[in-house]
């Protein structure tokens, strides 16, 4: 039986005992059979895991995080040091279940050499057949299929078994995001024999069964799963795809109240949480009771979006005027306590950025005179009326943004009504392109410039927050995707960033930091694109 530190145990007993004197006698004995909880990690989160299968539509972020730890993918990314923690290195891929991989000279064939000694949790060897079935599944399911398609992985015909431990992926065009897409949360390698046993004619990919069961060979196996409450993971000691993780057991608990999560960590009852309120993080840091690893979310950004298909925001000059009237610095302080990386205030020469990386700072900064001039030029010298929306779920950061925006825009004559929208409704309104002006945050798993511009700056999906249409941008992104010459790609990417600044369909504010708060003896926290914890890399120092 596992145990807490004896101190907490006895206290808990005393409390209960005091309350019911009649039963005191059975109490305190508990402290005796204490096994150290040194190798157990207790994580508290505000979210909840709703499925073990990342392929389920509507899976939560915590669900992705769990999936990351219980399944292997063919490849993954390396990590680099950042402060007290690590950050994933998008430019450096490494094998996970694949020992190595090679890309042919024309970029059309990728060959993966699988580890020969790797097994699933049930002891059966992991073969190319399992890999093929798993990749077929990833491209065939609705949601995952759409993601895989962004790397030109679209049909099961593209995956070929060469021999038991070799699998080949063929592409129509040398898509730069093909291999990275094999490292996201969807193309996990499943135990195909086990999964197929639970597949049915209507459900050939066993989605129903895999929601609550695992067919996996990852570093951790699920030993108990209560949807929305708690997941317990045990280490798979025969794991071969990386160094054996330190923690033998991980307990992930849903604790909805943020202040309770903070107290749990401060009192040493829990070890790690990544979703505390900024104010609590600062207070905990101030009391020096815990370790805070703060990492900017390099693949995310908070923005102010305009509906570029609705007057008056269909005029780029109006959007620019608003951008110059935003009190960036005050917003950053009020909303985030300055925890993150600013995305405003760049100094560009000749209207072009130095690099093609995205997101990066754009050349906007607070300049009310310029804002007024632009507004006059666009034919609104006296300003106009509009409404600004944000979703209730993000009120902690959006409320101060909205208040400061309203105040500042009033100075250039724009009268803003602030509207709070329930989360479920916000998604609908954005999808239907009915909001004139709002704030949202965006995240792209693959932080590559052409990917960002493809997903967030064009098309008819919800993710095109600015409802933006631009021919030049469409051409650039379509081409850049298959561009094999790094210099040519860089040139194209710089032009894309410049368009984002000129046309301003959205104004980027900042990249919020991910604050991971943990016990002082926890080490090795890594920031991943899915913004969840990789338990495999964590250790407890003595």
Partner 1 sequence: MRTIAYRSARRLIAALPVLLGVLVFTFVLMRMLPGDPAVFFASGPSSGEAEIEAMRVKLGLDRSVPEQLLLYLGDVVTGDFGTSMTTGRPVLDDLSERLPASLELTILALILALGTALPLGILAALMPGSMVDHAVRIVCTAGVAMPTFVSGLLLIFVFYYLLGWSPDPTGRIDVFLIAPPEVTGFLLIDSLIAGDGEVFMAALGQLLLPAITMALFVLAPLARMTRASMLAALGGDFVRTARALGLPAWKVVNVYALRNAILPVLTTTGIMFSTMLGANVLVEKVFSWPGVGSYTLDALLASDYAPVQGFVLLMAGIFVIVNLLVDLAYGIADPRVAIE
Residues 195-214 that bind partner 1 (CB under 8 A): 211-212
How far, in whole angstroms, is CA 251 from its chain's centroid?
Answer: 21
Among the candidate windows 40-48, 112-120, 126-134, 433-441, which touches partner 1 by CB under 8 A?
A: 40-48
Q: Which helix (H) or strand (E) holds 273?
A: strand 272-273
Should residue 269 be labelled a site residue for partner 1 when binding is judged by CB under 8 A? yes
Binds partner 1 by CB under 8 A, chosen from 267, 309, 385, 411: 267
**Would you say 205 and 57 are in contact if contact means Cβ atoms under 8 Å apart?**
no
Nearer Cβ to partner 1 (35/102):
35
Q: Give the one residue of 220, 388, 390, 445 binding partner 1; rule: CB under 8 A.
A: 445
Among the listed residues 6, 23, 117, 338, the single contact to partner 1 using CB under 8 A: 23
CB burial of 376-388 (b: ≥16 within 10 Å; e: otherwise) equals bebebeebbebeb
Spatial distance between the Cα atoms of 182 and 77, rounded to a whole number of angstroms: 11
Asked if 433 touches partner 1 (CB under 8 A), the answer is no
Choices 263-271, 325-333, 335-343, 519-527; region in contact with partner 1 by CB under 8 A: 263-271
Site string for partner 1, 88-127 (x = CB under 8 A): ----------------------------------------
Min separation Cβ 336 and partner 1, Å:
23
Residue from 41, 44, 231, 276 that binds partner 1 (CB under 8 A)? 44
Binding residue count for partner 1, defined by CB under 8 A: 77
Q: Are strands 437-443 and 300-306 parallel, antiparallel or unpaired?
A: antiparallel
The tally of CA atoms less than 13 A away on the side-chain side of residue 261 is: 26
Q: Which is nearer to partner 1, 146 or 410 (CB)?
A: 146
Indicate whether 518 belongs to the interface with partner 1 (CB under 8 A). no
Q: Site map for partner 1, 380-409, x if CB under 8 A?
A: -------------x----------------
d(CA 186, CA 9): 41
Rounded distance, CA 483 to CA 500, Å? 20
Cα(68)–Cα(66) distance, rounded to whole angstroms? Answer: 5
The contact pattern for partner 1, residues 329-368, with x = CB under 8 A and - = no contact, is: ----------------------------------------
Query: For residues 217-246, which are near partner 1 according to CB under 8 A?
Result: 226-230
- 435 is a site residue for partner 1 (CB under 8 A): no
Q: How far is residue 290's CA from residue 343's CA, in Å, rounded to a whole number?
A: 29
Write out 53-94 in H/E/C secondary structure: CCCCCCCCHHHHHHHHHHCCCCEEEEEEEECCEEEEEEEEEE
Near partner 1 by CB under 8 A: residue from 16, 311, 410, 478: 16
What is the rounded CA–CA span in Å between residue 231 and residue 251? 6
- As measured in angstroms, the least distance from the Cβ of 422 to partner 1 is 6
The residues, any chain, with a CB within 8 Å of residue 350's CB and separated by 6 or more, are none
Q: Which is nearer to partner 1, 143 or 436 (CB)?
A: 143
Told to check if 12 binds partner 1 by CB under 8 A, we report yes
Pick the closer one to partner 1 by CB: 241 or 273: 273
Nearest to 466 by CA among 516, 510, 506: 506
SS3 for 386-427 is EEEEEEHHHHHHHHHHHHHHHHHHHCCCCEEEEEEECHHHHH
Applying CB under 8 A, among 50, 168, 213, 491 the residue interacting with partner 1 is 50
Q: Which of 100, 104, 259, 387 binds partner 1 (CB under 8 A)?
A: 259
Nearer to partner 1, 324 or 456 (CB): 456
Q: What residues have CB less than 8 Å from 164, skipping those under 6 apart?
A: 127, 128, 129
Q: Which listed residue (147, 278, 307, 308) binds partner 1 by CB under 8 A?
A: 147
Q: Does 273 bind partner 1 (CB under 8 A)?
A: no
Between 22 and 487, name the residue whose CB sits nearer to partner 1: 22
Alpha-helical segments (H) within 258-379: 258-266, 278-287, 316-325, 328-336, 368-377
Q: To 5 degrees, how large is the angle CA 513–CA 455–CA 73?
A: 70
Binding of partner 1 by 182 (CB under 8 A): no
């Amino acid at each position: 039986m596992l145990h807490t530190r004896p101190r907490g145990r006895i206290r808990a007993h005393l409390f209960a005992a005091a309350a019911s004197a009649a039963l005191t006698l059975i109490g305190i004995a508990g402290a005796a059979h204490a096994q150290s909880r040194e190798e157990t990690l207790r994580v508290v989160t505000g979210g909840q895991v709703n499925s073990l299968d990342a392929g389920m539509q509507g899976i939560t972020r915590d669900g992705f995080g769990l999936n990351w730890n219980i399944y292997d993918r063919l490849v993954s990314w390396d990590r680099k040091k950042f402060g007290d923690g690590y950050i994933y290195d998008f430019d450096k891929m490494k094998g996970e279940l694949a020992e190595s991989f090679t890309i042919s000279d024309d970029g059309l064939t990728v060959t993966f050499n699988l580890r020969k000694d790797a097994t699933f949790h049930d002891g059966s060897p992991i073969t190319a057949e399992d890999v093929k079935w798993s990749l077929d599944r990833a491209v065939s399911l609705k949601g995952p299929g759409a993601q895989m398609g962004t790397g030109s992985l679209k049909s099961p015909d593209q995956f070929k078994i060469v021999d038991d431990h070799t699998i080949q992926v063929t592409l129509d065009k040398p898509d730069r995001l093909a291999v990275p897409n094999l490292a996201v949360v969807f193309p996990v390698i499943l135990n195909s024999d086990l999964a197929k046993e639970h597949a049915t004619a209507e459900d050939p990919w066993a989605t129903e069964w895999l929601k609550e069961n695992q067919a996996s060979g990852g570093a951790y196996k699920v030993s108990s799963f209560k949807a929305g409450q708690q997941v317990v993971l045990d280490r798979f000691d025969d794991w071969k795809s990386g160094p054996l993780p330190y923690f033998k057991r991980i307990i992930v608990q849903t604790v909805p109240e943020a202040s309770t999560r903070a107290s749990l960590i401060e009192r040493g009852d829990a070890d790690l949480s990544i979703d505390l309120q900024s104010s609590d993080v600062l207070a905990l840091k101030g009391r020096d009771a815990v370790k805070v690893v703060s990492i900017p979310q390099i693949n995310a950004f908070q923005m102010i979006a305009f509906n570029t298909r609705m007057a008056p925001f269909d005029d780029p000059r109006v959007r620019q005027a608003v951008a110059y009237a935003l009190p960036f610095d005050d917003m950053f302080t009020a909303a985030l306590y300055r925890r993150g990386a600013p995305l405003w205030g760049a100094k560009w020469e000749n209207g072009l950025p130095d690099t093609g990386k995205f997101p990066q700072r754009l050349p906007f900064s607070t300049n009310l005179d310029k804002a007024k001039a632009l507004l006059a030029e666009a034919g609104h010298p006296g300003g106009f009326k509009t409404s600004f929306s944000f979703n209730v779920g993000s009120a902690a950061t959006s409320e101060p943004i909205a208040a400061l925006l309203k105040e500042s825009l009033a100075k250039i004559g724009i009268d803003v009504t602030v509207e709070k929208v329930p989360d479920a409704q916000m998604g609908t309104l954005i999808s239907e392109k009915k909001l004139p002006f709002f704030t949202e945050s965006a995240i792209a798993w693959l932080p590559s410039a052409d990917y960002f511009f493809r997903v967030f700056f064009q098309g008819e999906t919800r993710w095109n927050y600015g409802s933006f249409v631009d021919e030049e941008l469409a051409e650039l992104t379509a081409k850049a995707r298959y561009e094999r010459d790094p210099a040519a790609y860089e040139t194209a990417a710089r032009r894309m960033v410049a368009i984002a600044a000129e046309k301003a369909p959205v104004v980027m504010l900042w990249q919020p930091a991910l604050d991971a708060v943990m016990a002082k003896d926890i080490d090795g926290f890594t920031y991943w694109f899915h913004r969840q914890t990789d338990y495999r890399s964590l250790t407890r120092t003595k």
